Amino acid sequence: MGRDHFGNLGRKWTGVLALTLASCLMASPSVAQSDPRAQMRIDFDKAVKGKTVAWVPITMGTPIDQIWTEVMRSHFDKLGVNFILRDPDFDSNAQLQAVTSLINEKPDVLIVQNINVTLLARELKRAMDNGIYVIQVNMMSNQPSDAYVGVDNVDSGRLIAQDIVAECGGGKSSGKVAIVQGEATSAGSLDQLRGAMEVFNADKSITVVSTQAANWDANKANEITATVLRQHPDLCATYGHWGIMQQGAAQAVKAAGLQGKVKVYASSDGPRSDCDLVEEGLFYKILSYRADVGGAQIVDAVLTLLQSGEKPGTKRLTLLSSNFWVTGPQHRHYCYDLSPTQ
Amino acid sequence: MMQAKEQITAPLSSMSRQDPLCADAGGAGENEQGAGKLAGVSGALFGRMNGIDAAVPFLLMCILFGLFALAVPNYLSVGNLQQLMRDFAEPSMVALAMGIVIFGGGIDLSVGATFAIANYVALYLFKIEALPLGVAVMGVLAAGAVIGALNGVLIAYVKTRPFLTTLAMLLVLRAGHDLVTLAHTVELANAWRETDTWNFLGAGFVWGIPTNMAALIVLALALHVVLTRMRFGLHIMATGADRKAARHAGIDTRRVTLSIYILSGMLASLAGLFYAARQSSAGSDTGLGWEVTALAAVVLGGVSLAGGRGSVGRVLMGSAILFLLMSGLLRMNMPGGASSALTGFTLLVAVAAHIQWSRWRDRQRAIGARKSSSATLPADIADEREQP
Amino acid sequence: MGRNFGQERVVMCFALLLAAVFTIAVPGFASWDNAMALLRSIAVIGVLGLGMAVVIIGGGIDLSQIVVALVSAGGAALMVNAGFDVSVALLTGLLVALLLGAANGIFVACFGIPSLFATLASALLFMGLARSTVMPSTIINLPPGGGSFLFLGANWSGIPVPVIVFAGCALAVHLFLARTVPGRFIYALGDNPSAAWLAGLPVRWLTVMTFVFAAAIGYLGGLVMVASTAMVDLGTAKSTMVFDVILVAVAGGVSLAGGRGSVASVLAGTMFVGVLLNGMALLDVNSQVQTIIKGSLLLTAIVFDSRLRSQDEEAEQQGV
């Protein structure tokens, strides 16, 4: 054991010590530029985990709202987001009360599906003024907000109308078309009607004989269509603003013995029953915007807004859903199935 | 043949009512016009909600408030209380409209539809036609008065039945409402006019109380004064209690009846005005089912559906019970089905409890009365008369 | 029952008059196809009206009838979807309806709750219970191909099955009310409950029976509705359909005071509404305008009726 030995040992241990210190420093967050992947997760969790997201649909009783909620919940649970749900059960008064009281609870993000275009306009502005991000889904109000996720309803109207004109116009048939609206003051109906009438008004061979509103109720759609068919037995096509509602109309066409002669169109969110009806021949064609994909888009919007660092109400994001025609069994994958518990 | 039967039974019942020792028992029997058919009418269809003390609805209201104050976070914050008051005002005005008519011995099933039409008229006049607010208000109240007058003339002068008449009116008005809103959807959706007064009506405060609630308080006080201190109000109660007797006493029952329907129409349309200022929305479900809620509010407050009894306070308490229940459940994250079931269940339990309790109390009093006189109906028969 | 006969006749005459006018003025009205379409359109309201009439004759009213119809028919649909045999499913639905009807009857008869309020609250309760347990969805689709369930919505040698159901119900209710002892007792109950009680009639049982009956018939109406659209849409319960049903029964002559009316009343009211709506549809009248005209004409019928009646109106005015 001479000084040399100690020296060598000392150098060795110093080296080990230095290496250990260095690796400790590397692992600590403050020097994290060296591990961006870990930092990504840390930053993400800081922005998203533990945040509160509040969701107010029109009702929890329909497949479209159920699939959105299912998809949202499955993602938010895994990401550690606190997910609150209020169910107005198709009552506009209840939806307004729910949104108003939620704003007072100050969630981080508020997601709404507007029952009509004016009801929540004032409240949504108040939410954004109070530092809450607002996402509008599927049907907008007159108040623009941080994000809109959903289909372009005007475009859906145009697409379906164009197909109807191709099938019914130019003297191929009587040219008579009936439109079955949902809730007339909702964005879903106002915008689809606008897009469709744009196309129909431009074609002289098409006459729109009815634009009755069935208020999203399949039984009412059934009644209305039965009446229209009695008035116009030579109807060429009927276009419904929502697949589930239009199922009632399709059955009325069948009951009148006109299945196959009257073409039944619908804008659909893609529930399995709508695809089934296409395959059974009750629907002629539906345009599906795939609400299951839409659910994931809503989650994306939430994550984007939470990480954006922007003040609510300053920027606007639009995540448009795409439309897909469903004409037969080859398009089954454009429809979704709910979990067995639904 | 029916006539003869009524004439036989009517004098008997009026005799029994005049006799203080009869099984009146402070609650039973004062609404009976004839032991026969009308006991059937009131008994089966509307029941006899006699002598239910105001304490019970008040207690129920406090219990509900306390429960939700505990269960819902931030319930007692100023912001939430103000919001509750704002949401409470319009359904309560509609309940008052229903209440006035019921006090007068009728029923008005068209209050919800009148409210919806008034809402639309307010929006149309103010937003689309851009008329000054004062004119719009006049227009709205006029609409309500006209509808009420239609009901009133048919019921009072043409002598149709209130239930049926207002029911047919409900259907006509709802269809009319759907028609006009459909015709103007785009304009309604795009109309964006606001003035300071309009915003004050919809979103403003009066000494910390929301405007529409303040209006409700003023209205309720005024109605209370009219009903209890002014001759017109007493005439209403008299007509409701016993139409024939009121007529014989010199009250012009037809004019009173016409007035209560006009009043009801105007109250409902006032509610529509505030609603328009607050929500600016006219959809297919505006006011849908509000007549049912108003009826439930009146019954919960312990007001007799046969007429002639009750007070503004009771109607408001009943409305509060219903409102607290429904809005509290909404704030508790409960799915729509559960809150509907709980509301229905609470309504049934509340009213069943009232009735069972007042039956028990009547029976006790009848037993007491029987002990002091032999000229009364046996207590169990007096009790059984309540049965449908 | 004597005085009431006038109203049924008046309304039926109104209906026939309208039909005559339409036959002349509206091409296409007087044909077999149109007659069938007419009958099919009013079949559901007619069936429900029959059930409602029984309750009203017994002195009550049932605001929960649509809810009971949809919930019980929905139960049957759920069973079909779950793979049970159609007859088992239909039976389960019937049991559900009978149970709900009995509940209504108990609320009114045993707890003494006025039927207007009791059925208003029970509608909320029943729908809420259904939605929070077995039917979270307001939409229940029958399986593709639907199975034999759907025969109720189809045609049978040219006659729509809903019409056959309506005719069958009308016959059954008529026999019940006019020919059986409980039927007569229901009239007595509605006419004068105190006298009925004093005469020894089992008033509580009778009341429960009227509500159970209304529920069972409502169930049939619900099944026809479901078969016509191949789905259950619980959202219909929020509409004003129940008021339409009441109006059809009462306009035809069933008195809300109880003890008066018959199947003929419901038939008269239903035919009147059916002819009116059908004619207006052929005339291309807007659906809402149709309702306005219907309501106004019914008001007229009511006015007419009150003019024809005796003038002891104070008695009749009270609360009704």
Instruction: Identify the closest residue of chain A to C278 by CA–CA distance.
Output: A227
Q: Is A90 in contact with B285 (Cβ distance < 8 A)?
A: yes
Q: Which of B40, B168, B296 sits opposite C258 (nearest CB)?
A: B40
Contact yes or no for A190 and B185 at CB 8 A: yes
pLDDT at B187: 83
Query: Mutation test of the interface with chain B: which of C104, C106, C113, C234, choosing the one with the most B Cβ atoms within 10 A?
Result: C113
Q: Tell me how far apart the alpha carbons of residues A85 and A102 are, in angstroms, rounded to a whole number.
A: 10
Examine the pLDDT at B45 and tell me if it is beyond 80.
Answer: no
| % of residues, chain A, pLDDT over 70 | 89
- Do residue B80 and residue A85 have CB atoms under 8 angstroms apart? no
Q: Is residue C287 in a domain?
A: no
- Span B350-368, mean pLDDT? 84
Give the full edge-to-edge strand order of the sheet including A285-288: A207-210, A176-180, A237-240, A263-268, A285-288, A324-326
Q: Is A89 on the interface with B (CB under 8 A)?
A: yes
How close does chain A come to B297, measured CA to CA in Å? 17
- Name the residue facing C137 among A66, A215, A224 (closest C-beta): A66
**Rounded to whole angstroms, how far apart are CA atoms A145 and B249?**
65
Quote the CA–CA distance of A239 and B89 in Å, as a whole number.
41
B partners (3+ CB pairs within 8 A) are A, C
- Tell me if chain C has a CB within 8 Å of the CB of B248: no
Interface contacts (A, B; CB < 8 Å): 96
Which helix (H) or strand (E) covers residue C155, if one does?
Answer: strand C155-156
Tokens matching residue B54: 């105001």
Condensed to tens digits (0 to 9), the pLDDT of residues B277-293 reads: 988 888 888 888 899 99
Beta-carbon count within 10 A of B7 CB: 12
Flag whether pLDDT at B172 surpasses 90.
yes
Question: So what's the pLDDT on residue B5?
Answer: 37
Contact B45 C299 (CB under 8 A): no
Residues of A in contact with B271 (CB under 8 A): none
pLDDT of residue A18: 61
Average pLDDT over residues A50-66: 94
pLDDT at C167: 92
Q: Is B330 in contact with A86 (Cβ distance < 8 A)? A: yes
Which C residues 240-259 touch B at CB under 8 Å? 240, 243-244, 246-247, 250-251, 256-259
Confidence of residue B194 (pLDDT cuts 50, 70, 90): confident
| C235 near A CB under 8 A | yes
Give me the pLDDT at residue C254, please: 85
Q: Does A342 touch chain B (CB under 8 A)?
A: no
Q: Does residue C64 form part of some domain?
A: yes
Q: Which tens digits make up the pLDDT trace of B68-122?
A: 988 888 788 888 888 889 999 999 999 999 999 999 999 999 999 999 999 999 9
Among A30-34, A279-283, B59-63, B261-265, the least confident range: A30-34
Q: Looking at the complex, does the CB of residue B305 fall below 8 Å from at least one CB of chain C? A: yes
Closest residue to A231, CB basis, from C231, C233, C282: C282
Question: Does residue A37 register a pLDDT over 80?
Answer: yes
Between B354 and A57, where is the model more confident?
A: A57
The phi-psi region of residue C48 (left if phi > 0; otherwise alpha if psi is between -120 and 50; otherwise beta) is: alpha
Q: Tell me, what's the pLDDT at B122? A: 93
- Find chain C residues with C-beta within 8 A of A216's C-beta: 235
Q: How confident is the model at residue A339 (pLDDT cuts 50, 70, 90)?
A: confident
- Per-residue pLDDT, A320: 95
Regarding predicted confidence, which is higher, B320 or B380?
B320
Q: Hey, which residues 279-298 in chain B have their CB within 8 Å of chain C?
A: 285, 288-289, 292, 295-296
Chain B CB contacts of C10 under 8 Å are none
How high is the pLDDT of residue B156?
92
pLDDT band at B223 (very low <50, low <70, confident <90, very high): very high
List, in order, residues 6 or more apart from B283 with CB less than 8 Å away: A92, A115, A116, A119, A183, A184, A185, A186, B181
Mutate to test the interface with C, among A273, A278, A332 (most CBs of C within 10 A): A273
Parent domain of C167: 36-238
Q: What is the mean pLDDT of residues A1-19?
A: 58
Which tops the pLDDT comparison, B167 or A341? B167
Using a CB-CB distance cutoff of 8 angstroms, which residues of chain B are in contact with residue A55? none
Does residue B263 have a pLDDT over 50?
yes
In a domain, C252, yes or no: no
Domain assignment present for residue C266? The answer is: no
Predicted TM-score of the model (pTM): 0.84
Cα gap A295→A57, rounded to integer Å: 12
| Residue C139 pLDDT | 87
pLDDT tier, B58 (very low <50, low <70, confident <90, very high otherwise): confident
DSSP strand E in chain A: where?
A: 52-56, 82-85, 109-112, 133-137, 147-150, 176-180, 207-210, 237-240, 263-268, 285-288, 317-320, 324-326
Distance between CA atoms of B261 and B282, rounded to whole angstroms? 24
Beta-bridge mates of residue A137 = A149
Interface of C with B in 97-136 (CB under 8 A): 107-109, 111-118, 120-133, 135-136
Q: Is A129 on the interface with B (CB under 8 A)?
A: no
Q: What is the pLDDT of residue A27?
A: 53
Chain C neighbors of A66, CB-CB under 8 A: 136-137
Average pLDDT of chain A, as a whole number? 89
B-contacting residues in A 183-202 (Cβ below 8 Å): 183-186, 189-190
Paired residues of A264 in beta bridges: A238
Residue C19 lies in a domain: no
A127 to chain B, any CB pair closer than 8 A? The answer is no
Q: Is residue C314 part of a domain?
A: no
Neighboring chain B residues of C204 at a CB cutoff of 8 Å: 387
Whether C253 is in a domain gets the answer no
Number of domains forming the structure of chain C: 1
Q: Which residue has the higher pLDDT, C248 or B316?
A: B316
pLDDT, position C166: 92
Residues of A in contact with C234 (CB under 8 A): 61
Question: CB–CB of B189 and A89 under 8 A?
Answer: no
Touching check for B13 and chain C: CB below 8 Å? no
Q: Which of A215, A247, A256 sits opposite C231 (nearest CB)?
A: A247
Residue B216 C-alpha, separation from nearest chain A C-alpha, in angstroms: 19
Is residue B260 within 8 angstroms of chain C, CB to CB?
no
DSSP secondary-structure letter at C62?
Answer: -
- Residue C31 maps to a domain: no
**Cβ of A256 and C137 within 8 Å?**
no
Residues of chain C under the 50 pLDDT cut: 1-4, 311-320
Band the pLDDT of B169: cuts 50, 70, 90.
Answer: very high
Question: Can you tell me the distance from the alpha carbon of C202 to that of C210, in angstroms, rounded to the nearest whole number?
Answer: 13
| Candidate from A194-208, B4-18, C176-190 with smallest mean pLDDT | B4-18
For residue B1, give the amino acid letter. Answer: M
Question: Of the candidates C41, C238, C290, which has its C-beta nearest A90's C-beta?
Answer: C238
Chain A residues touching residue B120 (CB < 8 angstroms): none
Say yes or no for a CB contact (<8 Å) between A61 and C234: yes
What is the 3 state secondary structure string of A280-318? HCCCCEEEECCHHHHHHHHHHHHHHHHHHCCCCCCCCEE
Residue B78 is predicted with a pLDDT of: 85
Confidence of residue B30 (pLDDT cuts 50, 70, 90): very low
Task: Report how far residue B336's alpha carbon sits from residue A56's, in angstroms, rounded to the nearest whole number.
Answer: 12
Q: Give how far Cα C200 sits from Cα of A327, C69, C197, Å.
A: 67, 33, 5
